[in-house]
Amino acid sequence: MDLLTNAGIFLYPLALCSVVAVAITIERLLSLRKSRVMPRHLVEAFLTHDTENLQGDSRSVAGRIIAFQSERNPDAEALNAFARLEGSRMERGIFLLEVVIGVAPLLGLLGTVTGLTQVFSGFSADTGLPEPAAFIKGIALALNTTILGLSIAIPALVAHAYLLRRVEALAARIEMAVQALIESKPRA
């Protein structure tokens, strides 16, 4: 608890960074489940090349691509463009993790500099010794904000790397599915 109380005013922006990182991570983990991107029945249809009677829906990325294909009967280029759009939607919000990864340690560093400024401004001109209360408060601020900034940024970095890798893997699956749709389309 001392860690939080000794972080001073920097606690609020650091807490905001933490909330944003946790919210984005949870939301993306839920949104990037296989059932939300490409449900099992669609995977099986694509693997067996049985794409003639697929029904699209709005519950999954692959379902939206299939619905687009069946409703609009696009050419291969338009279908690929729509699939890229759906793929980019899978990355929604992940950039905020990048912001947290950059901002949290910088806020910690700003707290460190502020704390050290308090320490050095508390030196007595007469004795050359620091005022004990200002010294302790400044060092506590410096160390606690550094700890908080790094403890927010490191898990956000891990989540960011995992989510980007997850999006890449799912986008590859979607690309294969789109290719199967294009190949199964009757030639005009």
83-104 pLDDT per residue, tens = 999 989 999 999 999 999 999 9
Q: Where are the domains of the chain?
A: 2-184
Is 26 exposed, middle or buried (CB count within 10 Å of its CB: 0-12, 13-18, 19+)? exposed
The residues with which 130 forms a beta bridge, in sequence order, are 123
- The pLDDT tens digits for 127-163 are 778 788 888 888 988 999 999 999 999 999 999 999 9
CB within 8 A of 28, min separation 6: which ones?
92, 93, 94, 163
The yes-or-no verdict on residue 188 having pLDDT over 80 is no
- The pLDDT tens digits for 17-58 are 999 999 999 999 999 998 889 888 787 777 776 666 677 777
CA separation for the pair 20, 17 (Å, rounded): 5
Mean pLDDT taken over the chain: 87
Q: How many CA atoms lie within 13 A of 187 on its CB side?
A: 1
Model pLDDT, residue 49: 66
Tokens of 184: 């199964």
pTM of the full structure: 0.83
